[in-house]
Amino acid sequence: TSASHKKKAKKAKESKNKRTDKTPKMATLDSKKLDGIVSQYGGNNAAVSVVPVESTDTYDSQQAKAKYVAAGLYLPVYLASHEIGNGDAESDADTAMRTMDNQAANDAIDAIGGLSSLNDWLSDSGYSATSFEREFGDVDSSNEGWENYTSASDAANMLASVAQQGDAGLLEYDLASEGVTAPGGTTINGHRGKGLKNSYNFFVIVKGAKGTAAVVVMTENLGQSGAVSLTNAVLNEVNADILQ
C-alpha cells in the first residue's frame, strides 16, 4: 500500500541519515601507544609519562614508574620552595626554573632547610620514586655513588602541577635548540637534562587547541638524537590524540 511504501521510505531515510551524520570516533591516547613508540627507541632505556592538565587521566609507558637519573629536574625545588619556603627560596627557585641555573637551585634548597627538607616534602607529597642525595652539578658526589632519582610518572605529575598553577611560562629553555619541535598548532615550554650516567631527559608542557599536557621523556644511553626523536614522536601523538 501507499502508506506502507511511505513508512519504508521514511525508515530508509532515517537509516541513511544515521550513517552520514555519524561522526568518526575520536582518537585517544593510551599506554599501549606510548609503549609502541618507546619500543622503537630502546625499550628499557626510556620511560614516558603524559598527564593532561585539565583531567585526572595519566598515560604511562611500561617503565614510567622506574627510577631514572633526575638530570634537569628543577620542578620539586620550585614546588617545595613555594609551598614551604620563604621569599629567598621562592626567588632562587624562580631563577632556577627560568634559567636552569644549578647554583640558584642549590640556594633554594638551602633556604628551605637542605636536602633532608626537600626529601621530606617529596615523601609527604606522594612522589615516592623521587629522592635527592646530592646538590645540582655536584659531579664528584655523583661519581662516588650519590645520585638524584625520579620517575617519569613523578616528574609528569610535578610538571602538571606547575602548569595548573599557571607557571608554565617559567620554563624558558629553548627546546628547539635541541631539536624538539612543537607540533602544528601547539606551543611548548620545557627543560632539558643531560649528562650524568648517560641520561638525556625532556620535561615539556605542550598546549594545543583543546587543552594542555605535561609530557616527560626520560632516557639513558640513547644520546641526544635518540631522546629528541622519541620526544618529538610522543609530542606528535599527544597532539593528535588529545590536544586537537
Q: What percent of the chain has pLDDT over 90?
A: 82
pLDDT at 244: 87
Average pLDDT value for residue range 124-131: 98
Give 110's Cβ-side CA count (13 Å radius).
10
* Closest to 77 (Cα-Cα) out of 49, 19, 119, 22: 119
Average pLDDT value for residue range 4-16: 41
Average pLDDT value for residue range 36-64: 92
Mean pLDDT (the chain, rounded): 89
Q: Which of 18-22, 39-43, 83-87 has the lowest mean pLDDT?
A: 18-22
Average pLDDT value for residue range 151-159: 98
Residue 196 pLDDT grade (very low, low, confident, very high; cuts 50, 70, 90): confident
Sign of CA dihedral 94, 96, 106, 81: positive
CA distance 114 to 110: 5
* Closest to 93 (Cα-Cα) out of 171, 160, 153: 171
Give 38's Cβ-side CA count (13 Å radius).
26
Phi then psi for residue 26, to 5 deg, are -65, 140
pTM, 2 dp: 0.88
